[in-house]
Structure 1
Amino acid sequence: MSVWSVTFLEYWKRYNATLSYRWDCLEFTEIEEPPRPEFTALAPLTILNPITKMEEPYFPKTRQLRRVLAGSMVIVLMIAIVIIFLISVILYRIIIFLVVVKSGMIYSSASLITSVSSSVLSLIITLILSRIYVSLAHFLTQWEMHRTETQYEDAFTFKVFIFEFVNYYSTPIYIAFLKGRFLGYPGNETTIFRYRNENCKPGGCLIELAQQMLIIMVGKQVLNNIKEFLFPKLELCWHRMTLSSNKDQKNEQINPWERDYQMITYKGLFDEYLEMVIQFGFITIFVAACPLAPLFALLNNWIEVRLDAKKFACEYRRPVATRAQDIGIWMSILEAITSIAVIGNAFLVAFTSDILPRAYYQYKMNGNLTGYINFTLANAPEVYAKDHSPCRYQGFRDSEGNLSFDFWVLMVIRLAFVIVFEHVVFFLGRMIDFLVPDVPESVEIKLKRERFLAKQALAENEFLAWTLDTECVIERTSPDMEHEGSNLSIVVSNED
């Protein structure tokens, strides 16, 4: 999946270059994009544009930088709120698990109830915080006074994605990399508000991570599809009711253009982009824990394509075409997710799964896995065993609670695997990037042909202008000098 994500982005760059050439948007951002109307109305100063030589509205860079920094502090505050809710969900898991177990339910059922209920709670909190933050991000980005629509969209997109990344991925990251890591050992246990820190199931955290992913990812997709199916219909009905001012107009035959006008206005593609990017993160960063995630994403996208087609054809007005050079900062976000996915999957395989401990034990026992469970269990310290019944726990520690030699050997193997895996995948990514050019050869040839024709036309126009603006006067020398030869005098005058 890590190699696929790199390949996917490379071929998207090629398709993007093809569309940009076909729609004549290759240099739109740098040359042609005008200032935003809101920026023009609110900018306090004007400045001479060095390219167009025209007066344009201007907002000082220092003031804008201060506003960006202030907005960043708000983002940090919202991220802190998400982390607080994450800790609350962790405490909820610990308390609910203790309550269910004390009620007489067996351990496996109590663990399943705790995992599912906490996942649903996390999904509800995530959706509520997401709604609040999007409105706040709109206000902050408007306040920062970005000049062009591209700059505004990039700033808004970056703010929303940073928050959504923490909002949606914080719980899976906790389960994958933090849960069960700081338990201590019998007699010296780590607690949170006097509650013992939660541990993974005996089979590890991958199963719970897969459950969490499916509930958050699939639940979000189902809710979004229901919203995209119902909300446009309800909004369209309400819009048509408000436009129908009297009963006579309802009974009259409505012209097609009037019927089109009664449709609702489309609000843009931001939500569609955000949904796809969040989905891309789920199926690449945590795919080692849930290999079925790409299948669910594919099924969701098949359904959503049909819902969007119905929505565009029957419920929304035709959107006003807006030129853009590319997908903007979304491409940088996808590349960042790809890099995070490589590192995340390396740590998942190395530290969360038991692939490397199994391989290490199998190497020690000459290919035999007999006794592997016993190898992963440690005896409780002698001080603890005096006052309690004999017990064993998962961990590589000796009878005194100190980390064993096998723990350090496995730590070296895990870190070595992460380094090797990351270097190999990034090397393959660079090779794919090198072998697959960003611009297809056919488009590159057309661009070179256009540049050649443009230079040729410019040269011909310059020569024609020089010929029309140049007056050549040829005078013969005086008649009394004819016998000495036909000397010619050429007078050239350039007239403006």
Structure 2
Amino acid sequence: MFYVVFFCWFSEYLRDLINAKVFVARFCLHEVKLQLHIIVEPSRSLVTGSKTLITKQDYFGEKVALYFLWLGWYTFLLIPPALIGVLVFLYGLSFFNTSPLVKEVCESNRVMCPLCDEGCKVWKLSETCSYAKVCQDVCSTMFLEMWKRHRATYISYWKMLDWSELEEELILEVVNDAESKPRKSEHSYGFSTLVLICVTLMVRNLHVHFWLILSKENQSFAARERNFTVKMFTFQFFTYFSSLFYVAFFLGRINGHPGKYVRIAELWRLEECHPSGCLTDLFIQMTIIMVLKQTISNMIEITVPWLHKFMKKRKSSQKLRRKCGNCYKKDESELKEGEELCDNCKLNDWQKNYQLTDVDSFSLFNEFLEMVIQFSFTTIFVAAFPLAPLFALINNVIEIRLDAIKMVTLERRMFPKKTNDIGIWTDILEVIGVLAVIVNGLIIGVSSDFIPRLLYRFYYGPCANGTATDTDCIAGYINNTLSTALLSDSRVKFDPNQLVTPDHLNATSCSYKDYRDSDFNFTPQFWLILSVRFAFVILFEHVLVICKFIAAWFIPPAPIVVKNEHLDQKHERLLEQLK
């Protein structure tokens, strides 16, 4: 208790001295043994990088240890979906030259309508042959429930099951001021309604303004931290995912048809999908995000602290060189045999730690934010990009090692903080899990060609009457999905230069992807497909949500052994108190 009182008093007093520029900084010193252990023995990366910080949670505190525990568990559980994703991708590649749909596209002579107003001409469907080959159609709940069990095991080992964040904050307040009173919780239904309206209307500037108002409410540090986490994750989520949602569900679906294209300000046509389909655009974007973005992020994450350390070390070296003259060497390892470094030129541990990058409460937040955003990419659009778990797995294996090196050798030591959970991030992961069910259901049922192909196979195709034996049931599907516009129709207006085919002939008609008749009205097939799409989405989501809740109920949040040990500990404590 004396240490807590002294630290709280000295911490407040030291903050005033730092503000007055009497001191430059305050930070915990790294243990040299652990630093050397990580640098000298890189082959034991998982042991030194993650397990050391998990089993010896008192080095950085339970908050950082739980981050490595969660990241390691998440990485381990990525192995099964990564293997499944690779098999799905390889299965799609196996249809490069044998799929009847690919053959139909590659051998087609149909002339397609221009995709834009200026610079676009009619084009042959066979031009998308190579893309058609690539674009063959290719659990978060179990992860969360298993993570809760995994966390409970270590929390019991650390004896943190009964720890309360609110209780610890109250203790520190009482220690600092014996007459202090706890902050009362406040809630305004009018304010909450106003924020809800702003979010609904997507008025971003007003939304930000009201969230600043929110930070002025009288709340505990834990509550303010949770609100900040939700707010920042929401902004980051919309920043990263808005374009993906647009490509998946809006691109090419509200463009109209020849003779009546939807235009912005009656001037510019809306963008259309890639000739091979909208999922190709989504696949390309996900590839860039999961490969290029993650690689660049890891490079920046390790390079910036290293450059910061290098520049500070170089600056200190110049000062020592001026002070010590010839007796100074850049590194003690460069000293010759029998040569010693001057005592006043040796860097103390606190000086070496001062050269490291400063850390704050946002350092761990940024690590969690990066991984939860990646978890969102991996789960929400896995139906469109089955290789996402594989790239996430490769990235995380590297991430664990880089984070351990960065935290122990390139950054100042974080002040240890107690906790028994990853906090609000668990609730965010729950929301992502529900959203992943909804989005993947919409991608399969609405964005992909799964439903139209299924209906064509059993209702419109050559096998519909049950008499075809030697014909592939999906043959003719591509032509069935295309509608024709006669260029002689007065409603269809294209520039004459746009109607020249690649064979230098003038086209008399062009095709476009839709289910419309010659008068541009939707056909009965369109309405049937639309109704089946929504029926599938509703059924798919209800089944998976039910399975989600069954899994959450079936798997207890903590192993029975941990519960019994916790009960025994409480029993022993009560007996000691009664004595």
Structure 1 length as normaliser, TM-score? 0.71
Determine the C-alpha separation between the residues in 2 that align with 1:59 and 1:68: 18
| 370-379 vs 268-277, greater mean Cα deviation | 370-379
Match of 1:380, SS state, is: strand
Matching residue of 2:287: 214
Matching residue of 1:197: 270
Could you list the runs of 5+ residues in structure 1 that have no partner in the other structure? Answer: 47-52, 83-132, 462-496
For the pair 1:248 / 2:323, whether they are aligned, the reply is: yes
Matching residue of 2:371: 276
Match of 1:346, SS state, is: helix
Cα pair 1:36 1:147 within 8 Å, conserved: no
Determine the C-alpha separation between the residues in 2 that align with 1:278 and 1:288: 17
Quote the offset at 1:441 in angstroms.
Answer: 1.4
For the pair 1:441 / 2:560, whether they are aligned, the reply is: yes
| 220-229 vs 240-249, greater mean Cα deviation | 240-249
**Partner residue of 1:21 out of 129, 151, 156:** 156
Determine the C-alpha separation between the residues in 1 that align with 2:539 and 2:194: 41
Q: Structure 2: which amino acid aligns with 1:293?
A: A
**Partner residue of 1:55 out of 171, 175, 180:** 180
Quote the offset at 1:428 in angstroms.
Answer: 2.2
Q: Structure 1: which amino acid aligns with 2:150?
A: Y
Matching residue of 1:290: 385
**Partner residue of 1:380 out of 485, 495, 512:** 485
Determine the C-alpha separation between the residues in 2 that align with 1:264 and 1:68: 39
For the pair 1:349 / 2:444, whether they are aligned, the reply is: yes
Q: Structure 1: which amino acid aligns with 2:485?
A: A
Matching residue of 1:368: 473
Determine the C-alpha separation between the residues in 2 that align with 1:249 and 1:274: 46
Kindly tell me: are residues 58 and 423 of structure 1, through their superposed partners in 2, closer, same or farther at Cα, counting changes over 3 Å? closer
Aligned-residue CA RMSD (Å): 3.7
Matching residue of 1:6: 141
- When Rg is computed on C-alpha atoms for both structures, the one with the higher figure is 1
| 276-285 vs 446-455, greater mean Cα deviation | 446-455
Quote the offset at 1:320 in angstroms.
Answer: 1.6
Quote the offset at 1:59 in angstroms.
Answer: 6.6
Residue-pair matches, total? 397
Quote the offset at 1:146 in angstroms.
Answer: 2.7
Cα pair 2:376 2:432 within 8 Å, conserved: yes
Determine the C-alpha separation between the residues in 2 that align with 1:238 and 1:66: 52
Kindly tell me: are residues 455 and 427 of structure 1, through their superposed partners in 2, closer, same or farther at Cα, counting changes over 3 Å? same
Quote the offset at 1:222 in angstroms.
Answer: 2.2
Match of 1:271, SS state, is: helix
Q: Structure 2: which amino acid aligns with 1:228?
A: E
Matching residue of 2:352: 259
Q: Structure 2: which amino acid aligns with 1:9?
A: L
Quote the offset at 1:78 in angstroms.
Answer: 8.6
Q: Deviations over 1:216-263 (max 9, x none)?
A: 343331221121121101222344456675533793122345433443
Q: Deviations over 1:269-316 (max 9, x none)?
A: 111100011101111111111111111111111222222222123212
Determine the C-alpha separation between the residues in 1 that align with 2:560 and 2:185: 43
For the pair 1:311 / 2:406, whether they are aligned, the reply is: yes
Cα pair 2:165 2:419 within 8 Å, conserved: no
For the pair 1:178 / 2:250, whether they are aligned, the reply is: yes
Match of 1:391, SS state, is: strand
Quote the offset at 1:37 in angstroms.
Answer: 9.0
Kindly tell me: are residues 384 and 172 of structure 1, through their superposed partners in 2, closer, same or farther at Cα, counting changes over 3 Å? farther
Q: Structure 2: which amino acid aligns with 1:225?
A: N
Quote the offset at 1:24 in angstroms.
Answer: 3.0
| 252-261 vs 274-283, greater mean Cα deviation | 252-261
Determine the C-alpha separation between the residues in 1 that align with 2:577 and 2:419: 27
Kindly tell me: are residues 33 and 226 of structure 1, through their superposed partners in 2, closer, same or farther at Cα, counting changes over 3 Å? same
Determine the C-alpha separation between the residues in 1 that align with 2:205 and 2:515: 36
Quote the offset at 1:15 in angstroms.
Answer: 1.6
Quote the offset at 1:57 in angstroms.
Answer: 5.6
Determine the C-alpha separation between the residues in 2 that align with 1:54 and 1:325: 29
Kindly tell me: are residues 36 and 444 of structure 1, through their superposed partners in 2, closer, same or farther at Cα, counting changes over 3 Å? closer
Quote the offset at 1:60 in angstroms.
Answer: 7.4
For the pair 1:166 / 2:238, whether they are aligned, the reply is: yes
Matching residue of 1:153: 225
Q: Structure 1: which amino acid aligns with 2:572?
A: L
Cα pair 2:185 2:218 within 8 Å, conserved: no
Match of 2:480, SS state, is: helix
Highest RCO, 1 vs 2 (Cα 8 Å, sep ≥ 6): 2
Quote the offset at 1:189 in angstroms.
Answer: 1.3
Kindly tell me: are residues 220 and 77 of structure 1, through their superposed partners in 2, closer, same or farther at Cα, counting changes over 3 Å? farther
Matching residue of 1:226: 299
Q: Deviations over 1:89-134 (max 9, x none)?
A: xxxxxxxxxxxxxxxxxxxxxxxxxxxxxxxxxxxxxxxxxxxx9x
Quote the offset at 1:352 in angstroms.
Answer: 1.1
| Structure 1 runs, 4 residues or longer, greater than 6 Å off | 64-79, 136-141, 385-388
Q: Deviations over 1:329-349 (max 9, x none)?
A: 111111101111111011101
Kindly tell me: are residues 30 and 80 of structure 1, through their superposed partners in 2, closer, same or farther at Cα, counting changes over 3 Å? closer
| 16-25 vs 228-237, greater mean Cα deviation | 16-25
**Partner residue of 1:32 out of 158, 164, 167:** 167
Question: How do 1:455-494 and structure 2 match up within 5 A?
Answer: 455-459=574-578, 461=579
Determine the C-alpha separation between the residues in 2 that align with 1:66 and 1:420: 37
Query: Percent identical across equivalent pairs?
Result: 36
Cα pair 1:285 1:342 within 8 Å, conserved: yes
Cα pair 1:266 1:319 within 8 Å, conserved: yes
Q: Deviations over 1:381-422 (max 9, x none)?
A: 784478773222111112211111111111121112112211
Matching residue of 1:425: 544
Structure 2 length as normaliser, TM-score? 0.61
Matching residue of 1:390: 509
